């Protein structure tokens, strides 16, 4: 996924913080207001909003304002980007381990035939 290195950096950076992971976990159950999301955390609202902004900038969530309430919802694209990158990494490492297995097996067979 060479065409998305910067996007992936932001996506994974957003996941690096336990507060942001908890917010994403909560949003997995459905959209929620900022105040509802902030409730379980012992931090000032401006500090919590920094987490929300980073999640929004990295594409994990989308916010919309209705009246005085700002609601957050998960976005699907980052999940697809991470899944595609992980699939590439899995294929790369499976290929490497398959070649290593073939090398070891060939070496063992060669040693046994001597």
- pLDDT tens track for 26-61: 999 999 999 999 999 999 999 999 999 999 999 999
Residue 109: its pLDDT value, please? 85
CATH number at residue 89: 1.10.10.10
Q: Do residues 73 and 23 make contact, with C-beta atoms less than 8 angstroms apart?
A: no
Give the ranges where the chain is alpha helix by DSSP (H): 5-15, 18-27, 34-38, 45-57, 77-113
23 closest CA partner among 76, 66, 73: 73
State the total domains in the chain.
1
Q: What are the residues whose beta carbons fall under 8 Å from the beta carbon of 52, sequence distance 6 or more?
A: 23, 34, 37, 61, 63, 72
Q: Do residues 27 and 73 make contact, with C-beta atoms less than 8 angstroms apart?
A: yes
Residue 48: its pLDDT value, please? 97
How confident is the model over 55-98, as pLDDT tens digits?
A: 999 999 999 999 999 999 999 988 888 888 889 889 989 999 98
Residue 40: its pLDDT value, please? 95
What is the domain range of residue 45? 5-113
């Amino acid at each position: 996924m060479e065409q998305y290195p910067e996007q992936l950096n932001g996506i994974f950076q957003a996941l690096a913080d336990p507060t942001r992971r908890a917010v994403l976990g909560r949003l997995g159950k459905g959209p929620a207001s900022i105040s509802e999301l902030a409730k379980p955390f012992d931090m000032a609202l401006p500090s919590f909003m920094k987490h929300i902004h980073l999640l929004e900038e990295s594409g994990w969530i989308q916010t919309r304002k209705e009246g005085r309430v700002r609601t957050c919802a998960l976005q699907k694209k980052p999940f697809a980007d991470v899944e595609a990158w992980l699939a590439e990494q899995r294929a790369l490492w499976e290929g490497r381990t398959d070649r290593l297995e073939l090398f070891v097996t060939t070496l063992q067979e060669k040693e046994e035939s001597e």
